[in-house]
């Protein structure tokens, strides 16, 4: 065999090796990273709740006066100690907690406040609650447009916060519970049995909550 013939055989063998065994062809591939950034979650939290104050708002059964924010006006009311003050029909007591701290962040966040879970019962009592943001709420926290939200906020006012930033915003909220004892115009006195059975209304298990809602499509 001459030299040219040997060279031709070597090149042919090289081609066979490149194709690999069984006639398959290995494909090439490569990869690199893509910087898509980081997605941050918002927040909606309640801070440490301060102690509240009991007020004697009325002694004749009249509804307390409300201020511009929908809260009962506590000015000129008498501060009482509920462990020593004995209520009588016609009394209206108000329990108020000021400066409940909220922390929140979100591009377009809808939420509302609620107050509930009152324990016990009392003959002649009626209980109403008013929860509203104080004037030191940050700019951008506004009443949300009327519409349908899920879960349903019921009669509560829905607020909207459009942050557009990962930085947290804060607001202080004032919560009130108004308790009216009896009806001073009711001439039929309660019996001793009723007073023994229904003599207290406890706020020890009362809860203040903040709840996110989503506009229904």
Buried b (16+ CB within 10 A) or exposed e, 27-45: eeeeeeeeeeeeeeebeee
Query: Does residue 12 fall inside a structural domain?
Result: no
pLDDT at 193 over 50: no
Non-local (6+) Cβ contacts of 73 within 8 A are: 64, 65, 66, 67
Query: Does residue 21 fall inside a structural domain?
Result: no
Q: In the structure, what pLDDT confidence band is assigned to residue 204 with cuts at 50, 70 and 90?
A: confident
pLDDT value, residue 86: 83
Segments forming the whole domain that contains residue 182: 43-215
Of 18-32, 145-159, 161-175, the one with minimum mean pLDDT is 18-32
Number of domains in the chain: 1
Q: What are the distances in angstroms from CA 138 to CA 108, 135, 172? A: 15, 8, 9
pLDDT tens profile 115-157: 777 665 555 566 666 666 555 556 678 889 888 999 999 888 8
What is the DSSP annotation of 48-59?
A: PPPP-EEEEEES
Query: Does residue 51 fall inside a structural domain?
Result: yes
Query: Does residue 23 fall inside a structural domain?
Result: no
pLDDT at 197 over 50: no
Query: Does residue 50 fall inside a structural domain?
Result: yes
pLDDT value, residue 194: 44
pLDDT tens profile 9-26: 555 555 555 555 556 667
Query: Does residue 142 fall inside a structural domain?
Result: yes
Is the pTM here over 0.75, yes or no? no
What is the DSSP annotation of the chain?
A: --HHHHHHHHHHHHHHHHH-GGG--PPP--------------EEEE-PPPP-EEEEEESSSPPPPB-TTSSB--TTPEEE-TTTPPP-TT-EEEEEEEEEEEEEE-SSEEEEEEEE--EEEETTEEEEEEEEE-TTPPTTEEEPPSS-EES--TTSPPEEE---SSS-EEEEEEEEEEEEES-TT--SPPPHHHHHHSEEEE-TT-EEEEEEEEE--
CB atoms within 10 A of CB 101: 14
pLDDT tens profile 43-102: 999 999 898 999 998 888 788 888 777 788 888 789 999 888 888 777 888 888 888 899
Query: Do the Cβ atoms of 106 and 42 come closer than 8 Å?
Result: yes
Query: Does residue 179 fall inside a structural domain?
Result: yes
pLDDT at 187 over 80: no
């Amino acid at each position: 065999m001459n030299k040219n013939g040997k060279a031709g055989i070597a090149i042919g063998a090289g081609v066979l090796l490149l194709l690999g065994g069984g006639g398959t062809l290995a494909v090439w591939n490569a990869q690199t990273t893509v910087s898509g950034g980081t997605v941050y979650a918002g927040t909606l939290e309640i801070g440490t709740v301060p102690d509240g104050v009991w007020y004697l708002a009325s002694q004749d059964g009249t509804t307390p006066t409300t201020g511009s924010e929908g809260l009962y006006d506590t000015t000129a009311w008498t501060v009482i100690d509920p462990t020593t003050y004995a209520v009588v029909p016609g009394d209206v007591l108000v329990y108020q907690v000021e400066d409940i701290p909220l922390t929140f962040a979100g591009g377009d966040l809808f939420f509302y406040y609620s107050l509930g879970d009152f324990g016990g019962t009392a003959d002649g009592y009626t209980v109403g609650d008013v929860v509203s943001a104080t004037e030191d709420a940050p700019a951008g926290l506004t009443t949300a447009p009327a519409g349908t939200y899920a879960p349903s906020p019921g009669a509560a006012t829905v607020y909207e916060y459009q942050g557009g930033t990962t930085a947290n915003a804060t607001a202080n909220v004032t919560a009130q519970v108004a308790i009216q004892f009896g009806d001073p115009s009711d001439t039929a006195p309660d019996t001793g049995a009723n007073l023994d059975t229904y003599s207290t209304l406890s706020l020890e298990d009362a809860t203040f909550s903040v709840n996110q809602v989503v506009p229904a499509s």
